[in-house]
Structure 1
Amino acid sequence: MKLVLLFEGIISLVIVCCMATDTFSKEKSDLLVVTIATEENDGFRQFLRSAKLYGLNVKVLGLGSTWRGGTMQSTGGGHKVNILREGLKPFKNVENLIIMFVDSYDVVFTDGKDAILDKFSKFNSRVVFSAEEACWPDKTLAEKYPIVKDSKKKYLNSGGFLGYAKEIYEIVSHQTIADDEDDQLYYTKIYINRALRHEWNMKLDTKAEIFQNLNWALGEIVIKYKDGHSYLYNIETETTPVVIHGNGPIKPEFYRLSNYLADGWTDTTGCLSCKEDLVDLSKLKEVDYPVVLVSIFIEYATPFIREFFEQVAALKYPKDKIDIYIHNRVLLHEKDVAKFLADTKDLYKSTRYISSADNVNEGVARNWAIDECIQKNCKYLMTIDSVVQITKPELLEDLIEQNRSIIAPLLKRPGKLWSNFWGALGDTGYYARSEDYMDIINYNRVGLWNVPHATNLLLIHGHRLTLLKDAFTFNRAYDPDMSFSQKARSQNIFIYLTNRDYWGHLVYADEFETNHLNNELFEIFSNRLDWERRYIHKNYSKALEPDAIIEMPCPDVYWFPIVTETFCDEFVAEMENFGKWSNGKNEDPRLAGGYENVPTVDIHMNQVGYERHWLHFLREFVRPLQEKVFTGYFHDPPHALLNFIVRYKPDEQPLLRPHHDASTYTINIALNTPMVDFEGGGCRFLRYNCSITSPRKGWMFMHPGRLTHFHEGLRVTKGTRYIMVSFIDP
């Protein structure tokens, strides 16, 4: 047994020595990464970042020259071979130099020199080309390839190869090739030539040991993490390639994976790339802040646009460094724009307004914003749609400091999966859900994400705008925002989404009703968060705190702040605009029996289409207060047949006679202010001889109904008093 082991060790030693002597010496060899890039775009910068991270020596050829190799959407790329032939001349006779060629706009590294040379040594070859499943561009050549067992990656890919400098130079100099001919076909014909293949000892990386071409291989790979580092693992070949190539049409998915690769984001360190290449505005005086063109787009009727303009005006950024550009296609919102312009008059550097009367379509108007920013030589263009609600005024500063070509904050509809970005694209160029979409929108993964599409709010770096002219009409088959994203992708301009903070959200405008005087009153279902912000009293939630002291002006009569003065004003105006008040008589055709025992001058909520909304209000905002003060009584949802606004006037109905309410409990919300809007009024509980004569606007009384709380409405002597009443659980 010992003899066998000794013999096996000798054989292994001989093989290793032969490899080191005849083919490769890792200790004596050096590695030079060569790439071709005619322009510095975001893909190129991503490539260089990964190379720098792993300490790779990179030589860039062709930078600043004109690309003559075609569009790369089909065949082409011969220009790369010609650039290599010229660029590698100085290295053609350098001994022990390993040259690795890789594309640059769609490649990232996941390890360094030692790993690459170690993997190369195991091929026992002079030249190794990357491989893929498809024989392209000439499928008829597939049968001429040598047989490959145990792998689908049988065919050469020209996006990555490495080998000794002498052989690499001889290969790229083997014969002439026109700039617009295909480089992959050039290398393929060399490889399938058995004599040449053996002369240069060429092999394919059929198991993705070094190179991973992602086209046709997305189902094979996963991202893994170890010791705070990220890497890509091929589950079919059980290999960890170090050159990741997003070849072909899968670039959006490659860029998504690149968010994690090269330690861009890891499960232990989070987002490392977020901390790179930042701009520190805190070091600048306000006079030196970059000029931003803030372009506002109102393309459809939008709820809570008043708050939208307030938030734009509240952005924490010097207004004399902001140019304002507004495009409005909605007649309904002309008054909102006019108010914003009046309120901010002379504060901004300049303003330009394209109104609904100008009849300019969205795509053209957005292109004009780009043109205006270029003309004004602004440093940034921010585009913001009217559906955006900004809740953090530092938004603009935060986005500028991140220093990316295009960046968007994460914005989503509260409580929904709908957001302002797509994590992936489907085959038709429309939305597809990426595997990390849910983690990003739920802030389970926080970072800076390269995405194929973002909308609603973008910050675009000024130096990118010339490449994005007419981007919003680049593809008229798409909506303007999709067209813009497609144009950006075609120019290798990355669109980043950041969820490093919470900057705001989106309102839902698709079903916005515009046939009311105050349309937002009806948005309690579609835009609950914004409805609460406008209409629910700021101190409402304090009454729900465990140790809250609830005011009780009369026995078992509780007093709560519940709605804002804005709600009161808009609610009263909505009802007066409707105008169909009852006559205050006992005969009431609105009731099932046609008779009201204690009549008032009122409007029922079902008359104005507000019954469903009000019942929801009772459930969501009144019921929690009821359960707190009337302990032990639970009824979810609360039931109320009579929900009505009452109007008291000296010359109409000044008071209400003593009565019991047909309810388990009653709520009464004061909708205007005593001694301002009216005099007199109030409520007296006869059994307790207790009166409340100074109701607070936006505050609610809650008291038991039948049996105990016999009460009357006190006389109004001047003005008009409004209250909102519900008889709950009759």
Structure 2
Amino acid sequence: MEALPRRQAKYIKEDVEEGRRRESLNMSLDHKSQIFQNLNGAIDEVLLKFGTERVRVRNTVYDTLPVVVHGNANTKEYPTVMVGVFIEQPTPFLSQFFQRLVTLDYPKHKLNVFVHNNEVYHERHIQKFWEENKDVFKSFKVVGPEENLSQGEARNMGMGLCRKDPGCDYYLSMDADVMLTHRQTLKILIEQKQKIIGPLVTRHGKLWSNFWGALSLDGYYARSEDYIDIVQSKRVGVWNIPYMAHIYLIKGEVLRNELKERKHFVLEKLDPDMALCKHARELTNHREKDSPNPETFYMLRVPKVFNSFYYSTLYKSPFPTVCDLGCSPQGYALMNFVVKYTPGRQSYLRPHHDSSTFTINVALNSKGTDFQGGGCRFHRYNCSLDSPRKGWSFMHPGRLTHLHEGLPTTNGTRYIAISFIDP
């Protein structure tokens, strides 16, 4: 047997003697990082664990909380987050939304806030919030309706603020009609260490949510087998999904390195959220035809944490655009309401999917006599339907295949009755 080199034999002898000395002193190596955690070469083995007043590092391999962390940076600093808030339509409970933002369990000096408001009515609510909290956040920027930005342009602007700031660690995009009922939402999302992730948002008692579980072959909605179990909290955890909307968290480094383009929210025939998701899937080397469920976005559902409610804008005064007619618990139509279209208020409805399996649309007044314009356009089929005669109706799939929009009413007032069947 070949003899060991002299230097290697020396190291082995020193290790053996060191082991004997530790044993004599009743000492052992901290190989599970119960006391010390070295970040060099082990950064993927640690997560930030947020407490009430401080941040701890958790070793995910041994599930330990080391006391001393050795690295090249201050690992106990909270990441800096740019929060983009989007008020694109008349939104009820806006004051409560802002109050939940203030009470979010996260250091406010680490939050930069960008607000895009597209409604003149809400300017007073934003002004009041700013006057009461202007010194709370690290920065607070508002872009109002006078700028005449589209939804896509506004969302590109908010994301761009984080992209251009090297100190922006995360970008959190939130629509103003999302109500976060858990104060540690942001902390828990950051702990997941995903490039793009969002919390599950639902409507109480409904199967509506802010994500798609799968895509069809042509890139539109397809319900996944476990969708209902996830929405009803029968399954909890983190899942990769192809599409999410209304609220999501993106790493700043992803914006600067992978999503470097500045127009991710603008794409023909798609609403802004769908455009972002399609761009992100393509830029991260995922194509729908290769994978019906590409691992680009992640959705988090944990028990008794994200019991968040998405408040519908189907609301009466001070927004008389839509009024609720109620529903019968014995029937299949679980949501029935009237929509009012008129120039200067709500003259059209942007592309969307309904929260239904099928939707029934009934004309309540006459085109040519009561109003001009109107109708419905189905993007996937490039097909437009004129407003039907008074008392006539048409029915179409809701969430399954038919992305559609309400075409502009150019004069007068148009009324339609809507029934969502089997949401």
Alpha-carbon displacement from aligned partner over 1:167-212 (angstroms, at most 9, x marks no partner): xxxxxxxxxxxxxxxxxxxxxxxxxxxxxxxxxxxxxxxxxxxxxx
* Structure 1: distance between partners of 2:235 and 2:151: 34
- Say whether residues 1:410 and 2:200 are aligned partners: yes
Structure 1 vs Structure 2 CA RMSD: 2.7
Structure 1 equivalent of residue 48 of structure 2? 279
Structure 1 equivalent of residue 274 of structure 2? 482
Whether the 8 Å contact between 1:286 and 1:318 is mirrored in structure 2 is no
The 1:413/1:286 distance shift into structure 2, 3 A limit, reads farther
Paired residue for 2:133, among 332, 339, 344? 344
**How does 1:250-399 map onto structure 2 within 5 Å?**
278-281=47-50, 282-283=55-56, 288-377=77-166, 378-399=168-189
Whether the 8 Å contact between 1:449 and 1:498 is mirrored in structure 2 is yes
* Structure 2: distance between partners of 1:435 and 1:276: 32
**How does 1:27-46 map onto structure 2 within 5 Å?**
none
Paired residue for 2:309, among 505, 513, 517? 505
Letter of the aligned partner of 1:372 in structure 2? L
Paired residue for 1:460, among 250, 272, 283? 250
Whether the 8 Å contact between 2:265 and 2:275 is mirrored in structure 1 is yes
Alpha-carbon displacement from aligned partner over 1:570-612 (angstroms, at most 9, x marks no partner): xxxxxxxxxxxxxxxxxxxxxxxxxxxxxxxxxxxxxxxxxxx
Displacement after TM superposition at 1:383 (Å): 0.2
The 1:397/1:361 distance shift into structure 2, 3 A limit, reads same
Displacement after TM superposition at 1:278 (Å): 3.3
Whether the 8 Å contact between 2:56 and 2:76 is mirrored in structure 1 is no
* Structure 2: distance between partners of 1:298 and 1:481: 14
Please identify which structure carries the higher strand content.
Answer: 2
Displacement after TM superposition at 1:482 (Å): 0.2
Letter of the aligned partner of 2:154 in structure 1? A
Paired residue for 2:223, among 433, 439, 445? 433
Displacement after TM superposition at 1:337 (Å): 1.2
Please identify which structure carries the higher helix content.
Answer: 1
The 1:453/1:303 distance shift into structure 2, 3 A limit, reads same
The 1:427/1:278 distance shift into structure 2, 3 A limit, reads same
Whether the 8 Å contact between 1:364 and 1:472 is mirrored in structure 2 is no
- Say whether residues 1:496 and 2:286 are aligned partners: no
Whether the 8 Å contact between 1:294 and 1:384 is mirrored in structure 2 is yes
Displacement after TM superposition at 1:494 (Å): 1.4
* Structure 2: distance between partners of 1:415 and 1:345: 37
Displacement after TM superposition at 1:336 (Å): 1.5
* Structure 1: distance between partners of 2:318 and 2:186: 35
Displacement after TM superposition at 1:474 (Å): 4.7
Whether the 8 Å contact between 1:292 and 1:322 is mirrored in structure 2 is yes
* Structure 1: distance between partners of 2:95 and 2:146: 21
| Secondary structure class of the residue paired with 2:48 | coil
| Secondary structure class of the residue paired with 2:230 | helix
Higher gyration radius (CA): 1
Whether the 8 Å contact between 2:97 and 2:179 is mirrored in structure 1 is yes
Q: Percent identity?
A: 36
* Structure 1: distance between partners of 2:138 and 2:324: 35
Letter of the aligned partner of 1:473 in structure 2? F
The 1:294/1:448 distance shift into structure 2, 3 A limit, reads same
Displacement after TM superposition at 1:424 (Å): 1.0
Structure 1 equivalent of residue 13 of structure 2? none
**How does 1:612-651 map onto structure 2 within 5 Å?**
none
Letter of the aligned partner of 1:513 in structure 2? K
Displacement after TM superposition at 1:514 (Å): 4.3
**How does 1:505-524 map onto structure 2 within 5 Å?**
505-509=309-313, 511-515=314-318
Whether the 8 Å contact between 2:80 and 2:170 is mirrored in structure 1 is yes
Whether the 8 Å contact between 1:277 and 1:402 is mirrored in structure 2 is no
| Secondary structure class of the residue paired with 2:264 | helix
Whether the 8 Å contact between 2:90 and 2:319 is mirrored in structure 1 is no
Whether the 8 Å contact between 1:363 and 1:480 is mirrored in structure 2 is yes
Letter of the aligned partner of 2:163 in structure 1? I
Alpha-carbon displacement from aligned partner over 1:59-92 (angstroms, at most 9, x marks no partner): xxxxxxxxxxxxxxxxxxxxxxxxxxxxxxxxxx
Alpha-carbon displacement from aligned partner over 1:651-673 (angstroms, at most 9, x marks no partner): xxxxxxxxxxxxxxxxxxxxxxx
Whether the 8 Å contact between 1:323 and 1:349 is mirrored in structure 2 is yes
Alpha-carbon displacement from aligned partner over 1:285-313 (angstroms, at most 9, x marks no partner): 99821100011001111121111111111
Displacement after TM superposition at 1:400 (Å): 0.6
- Higher-RCO chain (CA-CA 8 Å, sequence separation at least 6): 2
Gaps of at least 5 residues in structure 1 are 1-274, 527-730
Displacement after TM superposition at 1:524 (Å): 10
| Secondary structure class of the residue paired with 2:129 | helix
Letter of the aligned partner of 1:359 in structure 2? N
* Structure 1: distance between partners of 2:275 and 2:319: 35
Letter of the aligned partner of 1:424 in structure 2? A
Whether the 8 Å contact between 1:298 and 1:385 is mirrored in structure 2 is yes
Whether the 8 Å contact between 2:197 and 2:297 is mirrored in structure 1 is yes
Whether the 8 Å contact between 1:367 and 1:472 is mirrored in structure 2 is yes
Whether the 8 Å contact between 1:384 and 1:457 is mirrored in structure 2 is yes
Whether the 8 Å contact between 2:153 and 2:266 is mirrored in structure 1 is no
Alpha-carbon displacement from aligned partner over 1:249-281 (angstroms, at most 9, x marks no partner): xxxxxxxxxxxxxxxxxxxxxxxxxx9863334
Gaps of at least 5 residues in structure 2 are 1-43, 58-73, 285-294, 328-423
Whether the 8 Å contact between 1:474 and 1:487 is mirrored in structure 2 is no
Aligned residues: 249
| Secondary structure class of the residue paired with 1:477 | coil
* Structure 2: distance between partners of 1:350 and 1:290: 15
* Structure 1: distance between partners of 2:90 and 2:108: 27
Displacement after TM superposition at 1:476 (Å): 2.6
| Secondary structure class of the residue paired with 1:303 | coil
Letter of the aligned partner of 1:483 in structure 2? A
Letter of the aligned partner of 1:327 in structure 2? H
Divergent runs of 4+, >4 A: 284-287, 514-517, 522-526
Letter of the aligned partner of 2:120 in structure 1? L
**How does 1:192-271 map onto structure 2 within 5 Å?**
none
| Secondary structure class of the residue paired with 1:513 | coil
The 1:346/1:374 distance shift into structure 2, 3 A limit, reads same
Whether the 8 Å contact between 2:48 and 2:56 is mirrored in structure 1 is no
Normalising by structure 2, what TM-score?
0.55
Whether the 8 Å contact between 2:197 and 2:248 is mirrored in structure 1 is yes
Displacement after TM superposition at 1:470 (Å): 2.9
